[in-house]
Structure 1
Amino acid sequence: MNTDDLSWQAGNYGGVPPRKVDLLMEHGHLDLVIRAAEERGEWFCAERAARELGRSGEFARALEVLEPFVATGWRTALWAKADLLLRAGRTDEALDLVRPDEEGRTSQHVCRDFAELLAGAGRVDEAIELLIPHLGASWIRSFLVEITEGRNRDERVLELIAPHAEAARRACGEGRWDHSCSGAQELQARVLERAGRADEAIRILGADVAGRRFLAQNTLTAYAELLGRHGRLGELRELATGRDAHAALDIYADALRDRGRAGEAERVMREAIAADDWVGYRAWLSSALLRDGRLDDAITVAEPGFSWYDCSNLLAPLVHALLDRPEELLHLLEHPLTVPHHRHEEFQHRWQAFALAGLGRAEEATAVVEAHPDPWTDPHIVRAGLLATAGRLAAAAAELRDLGTVEAREELFEVLVRQGRAAEAMVLHPTVAEQRAAGQRAAEARTASVPLREDGYSAEPPF
């Protein structure tokens, strides 16, 4: 193995990807996962096996699994070993393995990772000091708050965040949009809240909202959620029914439901729809009704948005909530207003086909695919997936074996594992080298088939 192949695996979910490794683990095949790491250089197998061995206290064996990957000098493997050493109680070894040099301390990402390791070792003050030079980045501030939770460092964190929160307020007062201050106000409120100073957090963030001294809607929603968590429903209702209703009304409705007042939440949202038929209100209500088992009511609320050709289409959220409930999904898809989502007709047909397969109606599902062959990349693989979904594993495996392509062998893996033939699945799964070669051929074919302009960009969409 080498760092190039390992980086490709990590960046492309190549080799045996995490989902398939988890499937093997769920079926009790830890030894097979370890063997794949050793014999095939499968990084995700090595990572998952080491984690599982460490969880059961077999640290020596876990380190042995990781060692060939660590020996390449690949950074991801080094950090995985450091984490394992830390969990084994070998703190100094863990820290020395990945301790950043002076150049590394200039990197936000390196310091973030090492600070997490320090915090895990109980050296929270060192972690904080390491992050201080990078607190100008909003994501580092968020990480600081995350790793100090429950560590009795709230006052120190507030000292560090306060200047950034004040800078955000000044920027708003001066009419500037300073992205470097993003998130600081809600982080300040979050730390105040966890320090037991919720009233102070509400007062400060409430003044910011009232004075419109905030940079992004996240601050507004953080304030609404803060009110909801502390039962300040009167103030939350006032916020949710004023100029910020689009941002806060769903939070108010959720707060009502959390307190057993689902009927009131529904009434509030229906009144909002009657006054201002905004898609966000319909989205919240349809989802809430679906959670309550009222599918037909959810459809009635959402159906005016089924045909919208943008991210506000209300069909997809209902479909995604029903993917493991095929009978209800099919009922939804047979609704007369159900139309292809976002101008991608295959979405509707794919949903219908897999709903039918989930009900064991494989022939009908296959007929849907055959009637609408585009844009399936390979109808044979789709057919095999439908057969597997319908529980016809032997037929699905035969279909995929006959194809024999890299993609087909990748799909065959899961079918064989479900059949109890995990060792055979691993033998037949494409190697990293095969996957990379297939990817390269596909990229070359796409490039050859797309006419280019003089500047090298595609002459046809997508540009």
Structure 2
Amino acid sequence: MDVTDLDYRARTRSGCIPPELVSRLLERGHVDVVEVQAGRGEWFCALAWARLLGEQGRQADPLEVLAPYLANGWWTAVVAAAELLEGWGRVDEAIEITRVRMEAGHPMALEFYTRLLARHGRAEEAFTLLRPHLGEPSLAEALVDVAGPAGRDEEAAALLTTRTEHQCSDFPWCCRGLDRDTAIGLLAMVRERQGRTDEAIALLRTGSTTLLSNREQLAALLARHGRLDELRTTAATDDSRYAVRQLARLLEERGDVEGAIAAYRQADRLVTHDPNWAFELAQLLVRHGRGDEAINVMRVQADARNGDDWILHTLSDLYLNQGRPEDGLVHLDALATARGGEEDWDLYWIRLPLIAARDGVDEAIAHARAHPEGTTRYAAAHIAELLAGAGRTEEAVAVLEQHASANSHDLAGYLIDLGRIEDTLSLLQRRTPPQPELSSGPWHDDPPF
């Protein structure tokens, strides 16, 4: 099997049976199809079939299934096989197949290999392997993680301390990406693990006030240790929002729902001016049976950002879930009028589920088809979803078949539901040539398009 082709299809989910449709085949009882396709170069089928065999206690067979994918050293297959072997308790074999790739120089193998060693009593060996690679951020984080079980926290802390004293002059070139603030965050992880919580907090407070990862780490640390008063103080002054989120989560976990809601509402600058935080507050309200209040929160956002599709979609879903389709349509109509009355499809389709809930699916489809873009490939996907949701799968397929290449995964899912497996395979396995890889050198003579 060609590694480039395998990797391209796995990354792009094109020319293959993607994992969600493999699951659909299994759910509909088409186990034999998955088994056959596993041996025909369908990676996601091979992986699902191998897992299924393992669950049945046939642990020798899965490796035979994966062998063609492993033969060329494809890293994705190596990781999958190692995880299966580890799950079956065959740790030495998992370690061996990843060791081979590490020694061959695969750029991702060292981190995976050392973490695997550390999980199975060889953390000191893992630490020794990682120590020379402290300058690489992902490997530095792995080193910190394995230092604990290796009993080498102090050594890790000493290595990181030298990095915290470094002042970057040309980030990331001067420090290879492991800058002072990243080192501070990693050192704080070590100190927290050692039980030196106050020291960890102090470290994070001395870091850059602009580095979001350290501010997020500080908020999470305070929440983990129940430092409620400090978290409240941080939330009052931290405009990065992380402290507000952690405070609300901690209060909700403690059963103080009103306090959690108040945490968001008191951060008025966030909830009023940032729709992402308004969304979090709305979700909190929904979790506790206060859907109408959630609608009011998102209404404010929709009115302030008329035409922002994800806000309108969220608001529409809230109306739908609260059994208020009529109110939702009235509000969407008012917003459309404020925009001049005309709506492109990317906003218009949002109202279709509300129309279906109020007037029935046929009425919603009639509205969709009457829209100027109602015959396009992207409109077809929404119309088909309405039909399939009403149990009219054959009609959904008929709609999508007019735009099959643009809606292949949706169409394939409905074909599976109808048992039309040969049509499904024919549709999904149309090969498109891999895109050329960009040069690995520092310069490119040709534009990347």
With the length of structure 2 as denominator, give the TM-score of the two structures: 0.78
Secondary structure, aligned partner of 2:192: helix
1:322 deviates by 5.2
- Equivalence for 1:260: 255
- Equivalence for 1:447: none
1:59 deviates by 1.4
Q: For residues 270 and 9 of structure 2, what CA distance do their matches in structure 1 show?
A: 52
Counterpart of 2:149, as a letter, is N
More deviation in 89-98 or 54-63?
89-98
Secondary structure, aligned partner of 1:300: helix
Distance 1:325 1:217, change over 3 A: same
Q: For residues 37 and 249 of structure 2, what CA distance do their matches in structure 1 show?
A: 47
More deviation in 17-26 or 427-436?
427-436
Distance 1:323 1:137, change over 3 A: farther
Q: For residues 8 and 220 of structure 1, what CA distance do their matches in structure 2 show?
A: 37
1:9 deviates by 1.4
- Equivalence for 2:301: 305
1:254 deviates by 2.6
Instruction: Output aligned runs, 1:367-446, within 5 Å.
Output: 367-374=366-373, 376-400=376-400, 403=402, 405-407=404-406, 410-419=409-418, 421=419, 424-430=420-426, 434-436=430-432
CA-to-aligned-CA distance 1:31-90 (integer Å, 9 cap, x gap):
32111112x321111012112222332112212221232344434334433444444554
- Equivalence for 2:149: 152
1:226 deviates by 1.6
- Equivalence for 1:238: 233
Instruction: Output aligned runs, 1:47-446, within 5 Å.
Output: 47-100=47-100, 104-105=104-105, 108-145=107-144, 148=146, 152-153=149-150, 155-157=151-153, 159-164=155-160, 167-168=163-164, 171=167, 179-181=177-179, 182-195=181-194, 197=195, 200-206=196-202, 208-209=204-205, 211=206, 213=208, 216-242=211-237, 244=239, 246-273=241-268, 277-279=272-274, 282-306=278-302, 315=311, 318-319=314-315, 325=321, 327=323, 332=328, 334-336=330-332, 345-356=344-355, 361-374=360-373, 376-400=376-400, 403=402, 405-407=404-406, 410-419=409-418, 421=419, 424-430=420-426, 434-436=430-432
1:299 deviates by 2.7
Are the counterparts in 2 of residues 118 and 124 from structure 1 also a CA contact under 8 Å?
yes
Counterpart of 1:418, as a letter, is D
Distance 1:284 1:73, change over 3 A: closer
Distance 1:186 1:394, change over 3 A: same
Counterpart of 2:32, as a letter, is D
More deviation in 126-135 or 159-168?
159-168
- Equivalence for 2:441: none
Q: For residues 56 and 23 of structure 1, what CA distance do their matches in structure 2 show?
A: 19
Secondary structure, aligned partner of 2:377: coil
Of all paired residues, the percent bearing the same amino acid is: 30
Distance 1:111 1:274, change over 3 A: closer
1:237 deviates by 1.5
Are the counterparts in 2 of residues 104 and 110 from structure 1 also a CA contact under 8 Å?
no
Counterpart of 1:22, as a letter, is S
Secondary structure, aligned partner of 1:171: coil
- Stretches of structure 2 lacking an aligned partner (at least 5 in a row): 437-444
Q: For residues 266 and 92 of structure 2, what CA distance do their matches in structure 1 show?
A: 61
Counterpart of 1:391, as a letter, is G
1:396 deviates by 1.9
Are the counterparts in 2 of residues 83 and 117 from structure 1 also a CA contact under 8 Å?
no
Q: For residues 164 and 34 of structure 2, what CA distance do their matches in structure 1 show?
A: 50
Q: For residues 42 and 277 of structure 1, what CA distance do their matches in structure 2 show?
A: 48
Counterpart of 2:127, as a letter, is I
Counterpart of 2:26, as a letter, is M
Q: For residues 256 and 79 of structure 1, what CA distance do their matches in structure 2 show?
A: 39
Distance 1:24 1:96, change over 3 A: same
Q: For residues 427 and 293 of structure 2, what CA distance do their matches in structure 1 show?
A: 49
Distance 1:70 1:224, change over 3 A: closer
CA-to-aligned-CA distance 1:207-246 (integer Å, 9 cap, x gap):
541x455661221222222222222211221222235574
With the length of structure 1 as denominator, give the TM-score of the two structures: 0.76
Are the counterparts in 2 of residues 357 and 365 from structure 1 also a CA contact under 8 Å?
yes
Q: For residues 192 and 99 of structure 2, what CA distance do their matches in structure 1 show?
A: 33
Q: For residues 121 and 326 of structure 2, what CA distance do their matches in structure 1 show?
A: 52
Counterpart of 2:54, as a letter, is G
- Equivalence for 1:451: none
Q: For residues 142 and 324 of structure 1, what CA distance do their matches in structure 2 show?
A: 44
Counterpart of 2:52, as a letter, is E
Distance 1:361 1:74, change over 3 A: same
- Equivalence for 1:446: none
Counterpart of 1:285, as a letter, is L
Distance 1:121 1:259, change over 3 A: closer
Q: For residues 203 and 71 of structure 2, what CA distance do their matches in structure 1 show?
A: 55
1:20 deviates by 0.8
